[in-house]
A and B are shown apart, each in its own frame.
Chain A
């Protein structure tokens, strides 16, 4: 018989390295026509970080995302970056990119101010123009300003900056301290169907409410949540590296190391929580790892709700679930007698 159950898991997760410095540096160059190039040492591994960093630079410079080209991951050419790790890229590298873009923008403001007859502090960058705050009709195309800065004034609009999250070391005895600058929070609720005759668990639906501060690109945040959930489903129900008595792996291949396929995925409903973290670029935090954190807990709690058994070791394979169900009914039969 198939029984349905539901389970909640709530989690928190930090952004950046634990206490230790993990800076990122970036350079933003504004070209003669107002388009821009960003140099970053981060490595794009599929999460879409280069797109997000381009969006941050574009927002700061007041141009469109398509105007920004991002160059990455060449130690001869791009500045240092601690790495795409610990969900830190949007937050740390993003802040570095924003600061670098601000510096390039300051050079543009210095060049534009006399041209527009104002002080640099009165200017803003929007809609591909450098314009006077409160009186946008007085403006110049950003390309004209960039070209003037470089070719007439002799000061090309290039900005370089680095950023490191502020932390405080942890006391060696009590662990008290400020190990991270910011954290994200999330809840996932899973609905499962357990076959109490085979122990098979099917994950029907997962609702995921995730905090990432400002979502710089909501489509990519959704992608991270869906991908993270797939890893969570595998962690909960399928994946396990097995060793023999001599310490050699028994299943070092994808035939016998079971990972989620399209058939194993639940229906996923994503909610990005409305939030703004003033310490992050345009309020953004991060999302890469948190997405796979609560999934297994939610699924295992749902199994408990469905068939009343508490599986305390992962993965909750059909064999384990079935054995637990049988043990429980045997126990109940004894109790009844």
Chain B
């Protein structure tokens, strides 16, 4: 079957078997390997992408279900001259270690901040609840998201806050 989707702002087509997942379409057909295969059944969240503004486990969505929709992957966040503030904050805080869950977490964060520019600590935890990470303990990710939120609200262009305890 033919699938037409807008990926990171560009319209692309592909011809795939009906059982192809959106994850497979992105990785195998479009070579966008940021979304990862961690479990293939929607448990780990490493395949998270944003479809029509909503964070989605792309391993649970069929390519056909994404037909005609807009998809944002991690590859669509940075501009040629700068990182997205979430990416910059993650880098400054060393929020990623092995990096495998990284793109998915960054997109979950983006979806959250698009909807809620000033989330509480609990709201950030809730937004990441579907993304498993084995390396970092989520702590620096949460700090980075708080910093990125401040930057996106225009409150500060400064670097990361230091220290690790916070409320």
Per the CB under 8 Å rule, do A and B touch in the complex?
yes
Q: Which residues of A pack against B, CB within 8 Å?
A: 45-48, 219-220, 222-223, 226-231, 253-255, 259-263, 265, 267-270
B82 touches A (CB below 8 Å): no
B11 touches A (CB below 8 Å): no
B14 touches A (CB below 8 Å): no
Instruction: Please tell me if the beta carbons of A227 and B136 are within 8 angstroms of each other in the complex.
Output: yes
Task: Evaluate whether A255 and B98 lie within 8 angstroms (CB atoms) in the complex, with A223-B136, A267-B165, A270-B164 already known.
Answer: no
- Nearest A residue to B94, CB-CB: A219
Residues of A within 8 A of B98 (CB): 45-46
- Measured between alpha carbons, how far is A320 from B142 in the docked complex, in Å? 31
B114 touches A (CB below 8 Å): no
Q: Identify the 5 closest CB pairs spanning chains A and B, nearest first.
A: A46-B98, A226-B137, A230-B137, A254-B43, A46-B97
Task: Evaluate whether A48 and B97 lie within 8 angstroms (CB atoms) in the complex, with A254-B39, A262-B129, A263-B129 already known.
Answer: yes
B128 touches A (CB below 8 Å): yes
Task: Evaluate whether A259 and B41 lie within 8 angstroms (CB atoms) in the complex, with A46-B98, A226-B139, A268-B137 already known.
Answer: no
Instruction: Please tell me if the beta carbons of A223 and B126 are within 8 angstroms of each other in the complex.
Output: no
Instruction: Please tell me if the beta carbons of A255 and B140 are within 8 angstroms of each other in the complex.
Output: no
Instruction: Please tell me if the beta carbons of B97 and A262 are within 8 angstroms of each other in the complex.
Output: no
- Nearest B residue to A226, CB-CB: B137
Residues of A within 8 A of B157 (CB): none
Instruction: Please tell me if the beta carbons of B134 and A262 are within 8 angstroms of each other in the complex.
Output: no
Residues of B within 8 A of A223 (CB): 94, 97, 135-137, 140
10 CB-based A-B contacts, threshold 8 Å: A46-B100, A47-B135, A222-B139, A226-B136, A227-B97, A227-B137, A262-B128, A262-B138, A263-B129, A265-B138
State the Cβ distance, B42 to closest chain A Cβ, in Å: 9
B132 touches A (CB below 8 Å): yes
Instruction: Please tell me if the beta carbons of A261 and B128 are within 8 angstroms of each other in the complex.
Output: yes
Residue among A223, A229, A268 with most chain B CB within 10 A = A223
B44 touches A (CB below 8 Å): yes
- Nearest B residue to A267, CB-CB: B165
- Nearest B residue to A217, CB-CB: B94
Encode contact with A along B118-136: 1 for CB under 8 Å, 0 otherwise: 0000001110111111111
- Measured between alpha carbons, how far is A228 from B134 in the docked complex, in Å? 9
Instruction: Please tell me if the beta carbons of A253 and B43 are within 8 angstroms of each other in the complex.
Output: yes
- Measured between alpha carbons, how far is A251 from B155 in the docked complex, in Å? 47
State the Cβ distance, B39 to closest chain A Cβ, in Å: 5
- Nearest B residue to A233, CB-CB: B137
- Measured between alpha carbons, how far is A261 from B129 in the docked complex, in Å? 6
- Measured between alpha carbons, how far is A260 from B135 in the docked complex, in Å? 11
B99 touches A (CB below 8 Å): yes
